[in-house]
Amino acid sequence: MAKKKHLKSEKKAMLKFLSARALAIDAYASVEQRLVALYAQLMKVPLDYAGITFFRLNNARARNAIITTLIKKRHGEKFNLFANALFKELGSLDEERNHIVHWGILPVVNAQGRIKRIKLTPPNYWNRNEHTPKKSVEEMYAFSKRCRFFVKALEMLWYVASGLKPDERLHQMKNRCLPCLPQESDAPGSSMLGGCLVQRFLAYC
């Protein structure tokens, strides 16, 4: 009976981990969809054409550099305040996504050798020590929340870069973004970042 209970607990920990990881990867994919929409708008091409080149860009840093260069090419310095801050932080999101995708599973066991939770750790298991970084299920959930914020922020950038007039729909988009603002519990300084980006966006409204 006790063995079954332990197995059930370990299975629950694994499912919780796999769910958090899958949701994090899917949340980042939503960010990529907003990026390709912005890319298409800046290139003045349909989404299907934009996707052919965009999804061949395997280097996130190069992809972000291309988009920020296109923003400056199309709009000069008009959106620098918002876009520069947004894409600077997007770089850290890209790095964290790579950790979630490429790091390996690290079971955390109790005194009886039973798995109580699962974390991610860098793939070089042979070079691990007490300072090796780890990523918990809670951190992956926080990553998903950050992705939702970037989805809304990129939508707002697409909106103003499209030359649409700041009407009621624009403020509705702002209100959609606010509930997705990162909190201090998600990452140090993240709530300040979210508030800062929204304030910079409001300068265009």
Cα torsion through 27, 28, 31, 37, rounded to 10: -110
Average model confidence (pLDDT) for the chain? Answer: 81
Lowest-pLDDT range of 23-27, 31-35, 56-60, 162-166: 162-166
pLDDT of residue 124: 84
pLDDT at 185 over 70: no
- What confidence score (pLDDT) does residue 159 get? 83
184 band by pLDDT with thresholds 50, 70 and 90: very low
Comparing CA positions, the residue from 91, 92, 52, 87 lying closest to residue 70 is 87
Cβ pair 121, 103 in contact under 8 A: yes
Task: For 43-132, list the strands marked E by DSSP.
Answer: 104-109, 115-121
What's the average model confidence in pLDDT over 141-167? 84
**Mean per-residue pLDDT for 137-141?**
96
Amino acid of residue 197: L
